[in-house]
Chains A and B, each alone.
Chain A
Amino acid sequence: MDKDLAIKIEHISKCYRIGMKEQMHDSMASAMMDFLRSPIRNFRNYRSLYQFDHADPDNAADSTDVIWALNDVSFDVKKGQVIGIIGGNGAGKSTILKILSKITDPTRGRAEIRGRVSSLLEVGTGFHPDLTGRENVYLNATILGMKKKEVDRKFDDIVDFSGVEKFIDTPVKRYSSGMKVRLAFSVAAHLEPEILIVDEVLSVGDADFQKKSLSKMENIGQEGRTVLFVSHSMSAVSRLCDRAILLGQGKVVADGPADQVVSAYMNASSGTSAARVWSDPGKAPGGSVVRLRAVRVRTEDGEISETFDIRYPIRLEMEYDVMRPGSVLLPHFNVLNSQGQCAFTTLDQDLQWRGRTRPVGRYVSTAWIPGNLLAEGMFYVSCYCLTLNPDTRQFGERSAIAFLVSDGLDGDSARGDYAKQLYGVVRPLLRWTTQFSPNAEEPVAGAAEHDPLIGRTS
Chain B
Amino acid sequence: MNDSPVPITVIRPRTGWQILDLVELKDYRDLFYFLVWRDIKVLYAQTVLGLAWAILNPLTQIAVFSIVFGKVAKIPTDGIPYALFTTVAIIPWTYMSEAMTLSSQSLVTGQQMLGKIYFPRLLFPLTGVLSKLVDFCISLVILLGFLIYYRVTPTWNLLYLPLFMLMMVAIPAGAGMWLSAMAIRFRDVKHAMPFVVKMLIYLAPIVYSASKIPEKYRMLYSLNPVVGVIEGYRACILGTAMPWQYILPGMITTVLLVVGGALYFKKMERVFADVI
- Are B271 and A122 within 8 A (Cβ)? no
Q: Are A105 and B9 in contact (CB under 8 A)?
A: no
Is A324 in the interface zone, CB < 8 Å from B? no
Which residues of A, 75-114, contact B by the 8 Å Cβ criterion? 98-114
Given contacts A130-B42, A139-B34, are A106 and B116 in contact (CB under 8 A)? no
B214 within 8 Å of A by Cβ? Answer: no
Of the candidates A114, A143, A144, A171, the one whose C-beta lies within 8 Å of that of B6 is A114
B11 touches A103 (CB 8 A): no
Q: How far is the CB of B157 from chain A (nearest CB, A)?
A: 39
* Chain A proximity mask over B240-276: 1 for CB below 8 Å, otherwise 0: 0000000000000000000000000000001101110
Flag if B12 contacts A102 (CB, 8 Å).
no
* A102, B41: Cβ atoms closer than 8 Å: no
Contact of A46 (CB < 8 Å), options: B7, B113, B116, B185: B185
Given contacts A50-B271, A107-B13, A142-B31, contact A113 B8 (CB under 8 A): yes
Q: Considering only CB atoms and an 8 Å cut-off, how many residues of chain B contact the other chain?
A: 34
Residues B38 and A113 in contact, CB atoms below 8 Å apart = no
Asked if A440 CB lies within 8 Å of chain B CBs, one says no
**Does any Cβ of B come within 8 Å of A138's Cβ?**
yes
In angstroms, Cα B273 to Cα A49, docked, is 12
Task: Output the nearest chain B residue to A144 by Cβ-Cβ distance.
Answer: B117
Interface residues of A in 100-138 (CB under 8 A from B): 100-117, 119, 121-122, 125-126, 128, 130-131, 135, 138
In the complex, are the beta carbons of A139 and B118 less than 8 A apart? Answer: no
Binary CB contact string for chain B from 20 to 56 against chain A (1 if under 8 A, 0 otherwise): 0000000000110111001001100110000000000
Query: Across the interface, which residues of A come within 8 angstroms of B6, CB to CB?
Result: 114-115, 194
A46-B186, A50-B271 are contacts. A106–B13 as well, Cβ < 8 Å?
yes
Q: Are B117 and A119 in contact (CB under 8 A)?
A: yes
With contacts A102-B11, A111-B11, A113-B11 taken as known, whether A143 is within 8 angstroms of B113 at the C-beta atoms is yes
Assess whether A143 is in contact with B12, with CB atoms less than 8 Å apart: no
Q: Which of B10, B41, B274 contacts A50 (CB 8 A)?
A: B274
Q: Are B273 and A98 in contact (CB under 8 A)?
A: yes
Are A16's CB and B274's CB within 8 A? yes
Most buried by B among A43, A50, A194: A50
Q: Is the Cβ of B185 less than 8 Å from the Cβ of A47?
A: yes
A49 neighbours in B (Cβ, 8 Å): 185, 271, 274-275
Query: Which residues of chain B have C-beta atoms less than 8 A from A104's C-beta?
Result: 270, 273-274
Residues on B with C-beta less than 8 A from A111 are 10-12
Asked if B17 lies at the interface with its beta carbon under 8 angstroms from chain A, I say no
B14 at the interface (CB under 8 A from A): yes
What 0/1 pattern do residues 92 to 117 of B give for CB contact below 8 A with A? 00000000000000000000111111
B10 contacts A110, C-beta separation under 8 Å: yes
Tell whether A398 is near chain B: CB-to-CB under 8 Å: no
Given contacts A130-B45, A142-B30, contact A125 B116 (CB under 8 A): yes
Chain B residues within an 8 Å CB radius of A144: 117
A171–B41 CA distance with the chains assembled, in angstroms? 11
Q: Which residues of B contact A362 (CB under 8 A)?
A: none
The distance from the CB of A320 to the nearest CB of chain B, in whole angstroms, is 54
Contacts of B118 in A (CB 8 A): 101-103, 119
Rounded to whole angstroms, the CA-CA distance of A205 and B184 in the bound complex is 31
Give A204 to B185 CA distance when docked, in angstroms. Answer: 31
CB contacts (< 8 Å) of B42 on chain A: these are 128, 130-131
A148 within 8 A of B: yes
When each residue 67-102 of chain B gets 1 if its CB lies under 8 Å from chain A and 0 otherwise, what string results?
Answer: 000000000000000000000000000000000000
How long is the Cα–Cα vector from A122 to B114 in the complex, in angstroms?
Answer: 12
Q: In the complex the two chains form, is B34's CB within 8 Å of A138's CB?
A: yes
Q: Kindly state the separation between the CA atoms of A99 and B186 in the bound complex, as whole angstroms.
A: 24
Chain B residues with Cβ below 8 Å from A47 are: 185
Given contacts A103-B118, A143-B117, contact A114 B8 (CB under 8 A): yes
Q: Contact at A103–B116, with CB atoms within 8 Å?
A: yes
Contacts of B12 in A (CB 8 A): 105-106, 109-111
Find out whether the CB atom of A99 lies under 8 angstroms from the CB atom of B11. yes
A residues near B185, Cβ cutoff 8 Å: 46-47, 49-50
Please indicate the chain B residues that have their CB under 8 angstroms from the CB of A102 in the complex.
9, 11, 118
State whether A143 touches B11 (Cβ < 8 A): no
Q: Are A143 and B9 in contact (CB under 8 A)?
A: no
| Interface pair B41/A131, CB less than 8 Å apart | yes
Check B119 for interface membership: any CB of A closer than 8 A. yes
Chain B residue contacts of A125, Cβ below 8 A = 112-113, 116-117
Contacts of A28 on B, CB cut-off 8 Å? none
| A50 contacts B275, C-beta separation under 8 Å | yes
Q: List residues of A (337-355) whose CB comes within 8 Å of B's CBs.
A: none
Bound complex: CA A116 to CA B2 (Å) = 13
Instruction: Report chain A residues within 8 Å CB of B275.
Output: 46, 49-50
Q: Which residues of A contact B117 (CB under 8 A)?
A: 101, 103, 119, 121-122, 125-126, 143-144
| A139 surroundings in chain B (CB, below 8 A) | 34-35, 38
Contact of A154 with B by CB under 8 A: no
Q: Which residues of A contact B33 (CB under 8 A)?
A: 142, 148
Contact B270 A105 (CB under 8 A): yes
Chain B residues near A46: list those with CB within 8 A: 185-186, 275
Chain B residues in 8 Å Cβ range of A50: 185, 271, 274-275
Judge whether B30 and A148 touch: CB under 8 Å: yes
Q: Which residues of A have CB within 8 Å of B116?
A: 103, 121-122, 125
- Of all chain B residues, the one with the shortest Cβ separation from A150 is B30
Q: Which residues of A contact B9 (CB under 8 A)?
A: 102, 112-113, 117
Shortest 4 CB-CB contacts between residues of A and residues of B: A50-B271, A130-B45, A102-B118, A142-B31
12 A-B pairs within 8 Å (CB atoms) are namely: A1-B8, A49-B274, A49-B275, A50-B185, A104-B270, A109-B13, A114-B6, A125-B113, A130-B42, A131-B41, A145-B119, A146-B30
Residues on A lying within 8 angstroms of B by beta carbon are 1, 16, 43, 46-47, 49-50, 98-117, 119, 121-122, 125-126, 128, 130-131, 135, 138-139, 142-148, 171, 194
14 further contact pairs, Cβ within 8 A, besides A103-B116, A106-B13, A109-B12: A46-B186, A100-B11, A101-B117, A102-B11, A105-B11, A110-B10, A112-B11, A116-B7, A121-B116, A125-B117, A126-B38, A130-B42, A142-B31, A148-B34
